[in-house]
Structure 1
Amino acid sequence: MMAQPADFLPFAEAAADLAGQVIRPLFRSPLLVEAKGDASPVTEADRAAERAIRDLLADRLPAHGVIGEEYGNSREDAEWVWVLDPIDGTRAFVTGRPLFGTLIGLLHRGVPVLGIIDQPVTSERWIGVAGRPTTLRSPIGGAAGCRPCATLDRAELSCTSPDMFDDATAPRFAAVKAAARRTTWGGDCIAYGLLAIGLVDIVVDATMKPWDWAALVPVIEGAGGRCTDWAGRPLRLDGDGSVLAVGDPALLPVVSKLLAG
């Protein structure tokens, strides 16, 4: 029988557990922070968590490929490929704010089919599997499910940072911001998790890498939303780095039109 995405959920959860064990003791502790080529901070927590997941993958699923932020790609042409971001939101992590998460995504022939957003400090975990409703485990509260919001003037908009836009993309984002009810900055992957539980309606980001979005797609779409590029097309490994997530699919053509300029 052909393997299904849900078959790999136990591995994904074990990987998230393992990453959390590495990350939690380092949160709000003195860390040596280095500057990477793109000027984003990276800590030993990033590297150690990804090493731990890769070691687990090599032991349990050696035929699978992996794309990771810290240690590059291996067997990325495999049928099943894991996409890892051990700490999405390292700026929040190194400044002691729990607005970061571990992202574990699984691609099947390039299509995102499984995703976990794990916040190891608050113990919140979003789980998305293709063909299944998204689930949220949280001691704080909330339930998975995007909320209806068919008009942009009532929408809560979120974006990771205005610094991700350039001269070409900044005016397009500004058009969405001007039309939305309110805009909140920051949150990284947590903003997408909040969209999947009906507290945010739109997330617009740019310059995103595959490890930034692969895990998000199953979570959002399993909660009833859509996660695409700015043109409304499926996200691809060779895409332009633009990401648009909407909780109510009715918003997708409206926001895409504004983002098209």
Structure 2
Amino acid sequence: MTSANEITPERAERIMAVAHRLADAARTETLSLFRSPLLRPDNKSTTGFDPVTQADRASERAMRAILAAECPEDGILGEEYGGQSGQSGLTWVLDPIDGTRAFMAGAPSWGVLIGVSDARGPIYGIVDQPHLDERFEGGFGRAQLISRAGSVPLGARRGVALAQATLMSTYPEVGSPAEHAAFSRVASRARLVRYGLDCYAYALLAAGHVDLVIEAGLQPYDVVAPIAVIRAAGGVVTDWQGGPAHNGGTILAAGSAELHAEALALLKGD
């Protein structure tokens, strides 16, 4: 006998179908304003610069409308419109544009993040880059990149030590001073360090092009979808203490368990 909250194959197929509908709807809303003179950024912060655009809001509204019709029993957590409780045991975690600064600058490193979590954490995710027509999907036995060229399997790169690794992070100023010092211990030993790709860095890790992504100061909607995709591709994701990362804060994503352990020891100062 199955429990009410168990993910049966039929339920998994429905979740994936709905997730792709969300991604399609978000593509429509975001692409209509990407590199457009009609884009009008606002600042959500009173102490710094935390941009939001009408594209962010329209993208999340479009996804929430589909969920209201198709999955009214599920919870929702979105960056722009907050949390909504559900009864099914599942929560859709949405970032309508991860990388709004890149979006504003016309750089195609932003993405739409669609994750699904249960009580244990992420179980499925999509990282979608509409302008490049690249959709990275992971969970329920799937790990694939869907693009104009078709579908190819995702697979994190293995057999790479830190001295040969490519490390990515969105900002050079990672976290607090103590967190930045910890990050620097890892970065100083990596072969190549690059910055600025937002969620696209996690997608590249899942595809086997990047070996490490290390960040701090994150929210759940920043990480749930990337965690699901990277794990489905064979990678390892934790916080900087080796615990779950899906609630936000710090994140260490690696292509292999061995590389993860090497970077984690430096982050912890072991």
TM range (shorter): over 0.9
Q: State the identity %.
A: 42
Distance 1:64 1:215, change over 3 A: same
Alignment partner, residue 255 of structure 1: 263
Alignment partner, residue 146 of structure 2: 137
Alignment partner, residue 230 of structure 1: 240
Distance 1:152 1:77, change over 3 A: farther
Contact 2:254 2:260 in 1 (8 A): yes
Alignment partner, residue 94 of structure 1: 104
Contact 1:6 1:129 in 2 (8 A): no
Alignment partner, residue 179 of structure 1: 189
Which among 5, 9, 15 is matched to residue 8 of structure 1?
A: 15
Gaps of 5+ in 1: none
Where do 1:68-79 residues align within 5 Å?
68-75=78-85, 79=89
Distance (whole Å) between structure 1 residues aligned to residue 184 and residue 82 of structure 2: 34
Where do 1:153-168 residues align within 5 Å?
153-168=163-178
Aligned residue identity for 2:105 = T
Distance (whole Å) between structure 1 residues aligned to residue 172 and residue 86 of structure 2: 31
Instruction: Count how many residue pairs are aligned between Structure 1 and Structure 2.
Output: 258
Alignment partner, residue 34 of structure 1: 42
Which secondary structure state, in structure 2, belongs to the residue aligned with residue 66 of structure 1? strand
- Residue 78 of structure 1: CA displacement? 5.1
Contact 1:117 1:193 in 2 (8 A): yes
TM-score of the superposed pair, with normalisation by structure 1? 0.94
Aligned residue identity for 1:183 = V
TM-score of the superposed pair, with normalisation by structure 2? 0.91
- CA deviation digits over 1:94-141, x for unaligned, max 9? 0000001000000011410010000011110000114x1411112368
Where do 1:116-155 residues align within 5 Å?
116-130=126-140, 132-139=141-148, 143-155=153-165
Where do 1:210-225 residues align within 5 Å?
210-225=220-235
- CA deviation digits over 1:140-180, x for unaligned, max 9? 68751111134110000000102342211111000001010
Distance (whole Å) between structure 1 residues aligned to residue 259 and residue 215 of structure 2: 16
Contact 2:127 2:203 in 1 (8 A): yes
Q: Does residue 201 of the first structure (1) align with residue 211 of the second (2)?
A: yes
- CA deviation digits over 1:58-92, x for unaligned, max 9? 11110100000000101067500000000001110
Which among 49, 56, 63 is matched to residue 46 of structure 1?
A: 56
Alignment partner, residue 254 of structure 2: 246
Which secondary structure state, in structure 2, belongs to the residue aligned with residue 55 of structure 1? helix
Distance (whole Å) between structure 2 residues aligned to residue 219 and residue 201 of structure 1: 14
